Amino acid sequence: LRLTFPIRDMYIDAVDNAEHTISLTNAYFVPDAVLLNALKSAAQRGVDVRILVPWNSNHFVVDWLARRYFTQCLKAGIRIFGYHTMLHAKTCTIDGQWSTIGTANLDRLSSLGNYEINAEVYSKELAQEMEAIFKSDTTGAFELTLDVWSSRPWYAKFGEDILAPLGVVL
């Protein structure tokens, strides 16, 4: 059962209908279970899902919360890119024809408490421009692999576990 969060539901519907590519950039990637499962399902059905996040944003707690999703994403076949500096974009392009640009992060605060707005645009021209920007941004980023991620220090894993309960707040 989905609650009524229009921007979140827009993302989920678009991801559920993706056939080829999803290029997602978000400053604070702390998705709820439904959105996370939609992204994982898309990757498992053969969609090339790529997520670009800042490696060190302006909220270190959110960074740690986001990182607790990386193992699940990587195991599902989602490609994760870390941008070396703060990246505040909130965009997504799907299948070269659908795009969203706006203020909404993929976290609980944006769904529940913040006043957010995203534009949903069906335009091949805009989608191609957005994909070119995503490609340029990922060129300046590093790709996280499951092997590298799995070998992170024990204290990093411990920190993620300790902060996990904050995910329901943020």
At 164, the pLDDT band (50, 70, 90 cuts) reads low
% of the chain surpassing 70 pLDDT: 85
Give 151: exposed, middle or buried? Use CB within 10 Å, 0-12, 13-18, 19+.
Answer: exposed
Q: What angle do CA 54, 59, 60 make, to 5 degrees?
A: 85
Beta bridge partners of 143: 81
pLDDT in tens, 80-136: 999 988 888 899 999 999 999 998 877 655 555 556 778 999 999 999 999 999 999
Compare 75 and 151 and report the one with higher pLDDT.
75
Identify the pLDDT of residue 147: 94
Q: What is the mean pLDDT of the chain?
A: 86
> Is the whole model's pTM more than 0.85, yes or no?
yes
Identify the pLDDT of residue 107: 62
Identify the pLDDT of residue 169: 47
Identify the pLDDT of residue 1: 44
Identify the pLDDT of residue 156: 76
The DSSP result for 76-133, as a single string, is HT-EEEEESS----EEEEETTTEEEEES--BSHHHHHTS---EEEEE-HHHHHHHHHH
* CA separation for the pair 31, 4 (Å, rounded): 15
What's 59's DSSP letter? -
Compare 49 and 59 and report the one with higher pLDDT.
49
Taken in order 107, 134, 23, 72, is the CA torsion positive or negative? negative
Q: Quick check: helix, strand or coil at residue 32?
A: coil
- Taking residue 25's Cβ as centre, other Cβ atoms within 10 Å add up to 26
Nearest alpha-carbon partner for 24 in 102, 91, 80, 96: 91
